[in-house]
A and B are shown apart, each in its own frame.
Chain A
Amino acid sequence: TVGCVAVDGNGNLAAATSTGGLVNKMVGRIGDTPMIGAGTYANCYCAVSATGKGESIIRATVARDVAALMEYKGLSLNEAAAYVIEECAPKHTAGLIAVSAKGEVTMPFNTVGMFRACATEDGHSEVKIWPDE
């Protein structure tokens, strides 16, 4: 799976995800990150793209839950994304990338690794795979 989230200097947000699914999946299987609200979501608070085991991501409505925690509980992007990945999605099944309207970035995951990269206007940039790099 691949995905990208972006926000401009005016707080406009967008998310996109694309995938081939699972190795050896059944023909006709729909259930991966493109499901709106599950693996991909954007509103005026944040934009989210998830990756991992699609069935788990759908059950946990991963992407929408990040936005909902920000909107209804007032959590920051980091707090909301960390809660969803650590408490909602089963272990070893999911990761996500997200940006907020304020230009924050987070990329949590509960798998061994996640191919990921980010950059912000203040000059921060990173490309990583495993958690402790």
Chain B
Amino acid sequence: MGWAIALHGGAGDIPRAMPPERLKPREAALHHCLQIGVDALKAGRPPLDVVELVVRELENNPHFNAGKGSVLTSNGTVEMEACIMDGNTKRCGAVSGLTTVKNAISLARLVMEKTPHIYLAFDGAEAFAREQGVENTDTSHFITPENIERLKQAKAANRVQIDFTQSTPKAGEKASVTALDSQDG
């Protein structure tokens, strides 16, 4: 038995022809975040601290779909979600519908540790964040030019899409019933 760590930055139809200028920063971020986690584990930090630390770092990286770099809703807004869980105690916390909280994962941990509940969403979650003094920022902080363009493309193709999936409809597809816009996913 020994320590171990794994992390992800999203799954989907990631094109193998992804240009280096888009690929390299993501690979570098994975290396960087992995090293942060390894160092924390080697330093004896509890796994709960380690996963929060690493996810915060991933949230702060604009190349992944969380925190800064979150994809946009049909209204061009961000609504972020996060969840954290401790294996020993099964304590957990989750948040949804955040628009100003800089690191959703840390608010999820506060839900776990400071409330009798396990899930807060939208206005209630934002109010709890303010009450706890969690760092917040203007919504524009999260929105990147790349994601504005992705939303435009998704709207043009009439699609709802997962991380990194290309928005161009395949030949012969009816745009209105592709991908997630069908009700059964």
Contacts and interface: CB of A to CB of B under 8 A. Distances in A.
Contacts of A21: 65, 70-71, 73, 79-81
Contacts of A9: 1-3
Given A21-B81, A22-B162, A99-B5, A127 B11 contact: no
A51 B14 CA distance: 13
A117 B66 contact: no
Interface in B145-185: 147, 150-151, 154-155, 159-165, 167, 180, 185
B96 A30 contact: yes
Nearest to B15: A112
B149 to A, nearest CB: 10
Interface in A1-55: 1-30, 32-36, 39-47, 49, 51-53, 55
B80 to A, nearest CB: 6
A20 B6 contact: no
A129 B14 contact: yes
Interface residues of A, number: 84
B38 A119 contact: yes
Nearest to B162: A53
A11 B23 CA distance: 34
B74 A33 contact: no
B142 to A, nearest CB: 8
B12 A25 contact: no
Between B7, B70, B79, the greatest number of chain A beta carbons within 10 A of the residue's beta carbon is seen for B7
A93 B115 CA distance: 33
Nearest to A110: B11
A24 B73 CA distance: 5
Contact of A27 (B6, B74, B92): B74
Interface of B: 1-16, 23, 26-27, 30-31, 33-34, 37-38, 41, 44, 46-48, 50-52, 54-55, 58-59, 64-67, 69-75, 77-88, 90, 92, 94-97, 104-105, 108, 118-119, 121-122, 142, 147, 150-151, 154-155, 159-165, 167, 180, 185
Cβ-closest 8 pairs across A and B: A20-B70, A121-B2, A13-B87, A34-B83, A115-B9, A113-B14, A95-B11, A42-B87
Interface of A: 1-30, 32-36, 39-47, 49, 51-53, 55-56, 59, 90, 92-99, 101-107, 109, 111-122, 125, 127, 129-130
